[in-house]
Amino acid sequence: MTSRFLITGGSGYIGSHMALALMDAGHHAVLLDNLSNSSIRVLDRLRQLHPNGFEFVQADIRDDRLEEVFRRHPVDGVIHFAGLKSVGESRIQPLRYFDHNIAGTLRLLRAMDGAGVRRIVFSSSATVYEATQPSPLAETAALGTSTPYGHSKLACEDMLRSLQAADPRWQVAILRYFNPVGAHPSGLIGEAPQGLPSNLMPMLTQVASGRYPHLSVFGNDYPTPDGTGIRDYIHVMDLAEGHLAALAHLAEHARHLTLNLGTGHGTSVRELIDTFARVTGRDIPVRIADRRPGDIAVSFADPSLAWKQLRWKATRNLETMCADAWRWQSLNPEGYGG
Q: Residue 205's binding partner, choosing from ligand UFG, ligand NAD, none, with beta-carbon cut-off 5 to 8 A by kind?
A: none
| Angle of CA points 89, 195, 212, to nearest 5° | 120
Query: Which residue in the list 13, 97, 129, 149 is annotated as catalytic?
Result: 149
Residue from 122, 178, 276, 328 in contact with ligand UFG (CB under 6 A): 178
CB-based contacts of 61, cutoff 8 Å, min separation 6: 8, 32, 34, 82, 100, 104, 105, 107, 108
Residue from 22, 109, 112, 125 in contact with ligand NAD (CB under 6 A): 125
Residue from 17, 45, 85, 184 in contact with ligand UFG (CB under 6 A): 85
Nearer to ligand NAD, 141 or 166 (CB): 141
The distance of closest approach from Cβ of residue 313 to ligand NAD in the complex, given in angstroms and rounded to an integer, is 18
Q: Indicate whether 318 belongs to the interface with ligand UFG (CB under 6 A).
A: no
Phi/psi of residue 186, nearest 5 degrees: -65, -20
Q: Which residues of 221-255 are buried (b: 16+ CB within 10 A; e: fewer)?
A: ebebeebbbbbbbbbbbbbbbbbbbbbebbeeeee
Q: Indicate whether 292 belongs to the interface with ligand UFG (CB under 6 A).
A: yes
| Angle of CA points 143, 202, 174, to nearest 5° | 30
Helix ranges, the chain (H): 13-24, 42-49, 66-72, 87-92, 94-97, 104-115, 148-166, 200-208, 236-251, 269-280, 304-310, 318-331
Q: Residue 19's binding partner, choosing from ligand NAD, ligand UFG, none, with beta-carbon cut-off 5 to 8 A by kind?
A: none
Annotated active-site residue 149? The verdict is yes
Q: Residue 38's binding partner, choosing from ligand NAD, ligand UFG, none, with beta-carbon cut-off 5 to 8 A by kind?
A: ligand NAD
Residues 195-234 that bind ligand UFG (CB under 6 A): 198-200, 203, 215-218, 229, 231
Query: Catalytic residue numbers?
Result: 149
Site residues (vs ligand UFG, CB under 6 A): 85, 87, 125-127, 177-179, 198-200, 203, 215-218, 229, 231, 269, 292, 295
